[in-house]
């Protein structure tokens, strides 16, 4: 795979994957990104111009997608509208990007017989009870609970149908919650980090006991590359790093890294439709593709993430006031 198209490659998870590919392969990467509010050209800074090119465009437009797909060996599809709260306020962009955009890419991959990897989320499975020992597996039934997760479930089903009906050479991965550099500060971990940097109390939704299975984005990137290179066509792989933490534990860890009291927290109104617990069983990926996460210690990954936001205030500072105003309007 000498040439790879990465959709959404200027966003948080996609840009980290582009950096990973450049550092670990000789491939040339074309990034296709609409450059919405959640993406930034700066996330690609420092990458060699002879190996990475950025094309600004919409994955739902065939005239943009098809020539790019025709010119590569593989497509890695990260592009998505992904903020749950935004999907509750206006589901339309989620349907267009996550479903119509995925369809457009699949049709191009079908026409030109290209390897296709679809990056999805564990939110398609719904949620688990806090006292339930089970984790999501590749066989867990789909049970999405928001327009965002429903749109991602729809795109997953499209990929499987295009594999079975048309022989598209595709794989799927469903990943747990990512954290790391370049994540928009509307998201939970960077929002709390930047609140503490600004001397305010971090905010916790509801009782703070909602559990997420956290994975550093570098580990997500290495897993996706392993699937792209060694994954079996038509298979789904769950990506996780055994990082189950409830929101209260995450915020207390952030406070501890800054030398602040663990109870220096503001509890705010819970999010609408807030899923209770996600948990990933990633044994298939680990055993079949010999993958292991680098950041098995959540505290080490969190410290690296905090260090990045402290060092890159110029990147997130221009967006901070608007993000906080949006949350304040919702009582969060």
**Residues labelled catalytic:** 122-123, 148
Report angle CA 130, 131, 136 to the nearest 5 degrees. Answer: 70
Range list of H helices, 30-166: 62-70, 84-89, 92-94, 101-112, 147-166
Which one-letter DSSP state was computed for residue 191?
A: H
In the three-class reduction of DSSP (H, G, I as helix; E, B as strand; rest coil), residue 221 is classed as: helix
Please, what sign has the CA dihedral across residues 223, 16, 247, 94?
negative
47 contacts: CB under 8 Å, gap ≥ 6: 18, 19, 22
How many Cβ atoms sit within 10 Å of the Cβ of residue 137?
Answer: 14
Give CA–CA dist 299/307, Å, rounded: 12
Contact criterion met (CB below 8 Å) for 230 and 117: no
What are the backbone angles phi and psi of residue 266, rounded to the nearest 5°?
-110, 120
In the three-class reduction of DSSP (H, G, I as helix; E, B as strand; rest coil), residue 217 is classed as: helix
Give CA–CA dist 81/97, Å, rounded: 7
């Amino acid at each position: 795979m000498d040439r790879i198209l990465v959709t959404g490659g200027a966003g948080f998870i996609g840009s980290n994957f582009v950096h990973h590919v450049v550092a670990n392969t000789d491939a040339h990467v074309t990034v296709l990104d609409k450059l919405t509010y959640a993406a930034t050209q700066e996330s690609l800074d420092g990458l060699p111009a002879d190996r990475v090119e950025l094309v600004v465009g919409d994955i739902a437009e065939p005239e943009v997608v098809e020539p790019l797909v025709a010119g590569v060996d593989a497509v890695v599809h990260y592009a998505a509208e992904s903020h749950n709260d935004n999907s509750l306020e206006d589901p339309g962009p989620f349907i267009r990007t996550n479903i119509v955009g995925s369809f457009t890419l699949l049709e191009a991959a079908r026409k030109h017989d290209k390897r296709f990897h679809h990056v999805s989320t564990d939110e398609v499975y719904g949620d688990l009870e806090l006292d339930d020992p089970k984790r999501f597996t590749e066989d867990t039934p789909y049970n999405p609970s928001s327009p965002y997760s429903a749109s991602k479930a729809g795109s997953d089903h499209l990929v499987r149908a295009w594999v079975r009906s048309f022989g598209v050479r595709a794989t799927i991965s469903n990943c747990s919650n990512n954290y790391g550099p370049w994540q928009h500060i509307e998201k939970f971990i960077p929002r709390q980090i930047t609140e503490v940097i600004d001397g305010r109390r971090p905010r916790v939704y509801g009782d703070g006991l909602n559990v997420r299975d956290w994975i550093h984005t570098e580990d997500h990137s290495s897993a996706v590359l392993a699937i792209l290179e060694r994954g079996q066509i038509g298979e789904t792989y769950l990506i996780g790093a055994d990082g189950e933490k409830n929101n209260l534990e995450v915020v207390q860890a952030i406070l501890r890294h800054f030398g602040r009291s663990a109870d220096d927290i503001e509890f705010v109104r819970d999010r609408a439709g807030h899923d209770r617990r996600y948990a990933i069983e990633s044994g298939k990926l680990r055993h079949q593709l010999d993958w292991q996460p680098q950041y098995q210690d959540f505290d080490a990954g969190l410290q690296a993430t905090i260090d990045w936001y402290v060092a890159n205030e110029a990147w997130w500072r221009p967006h901070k006031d608007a993000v906080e105003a949006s949350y304040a309007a919702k009582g969060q």
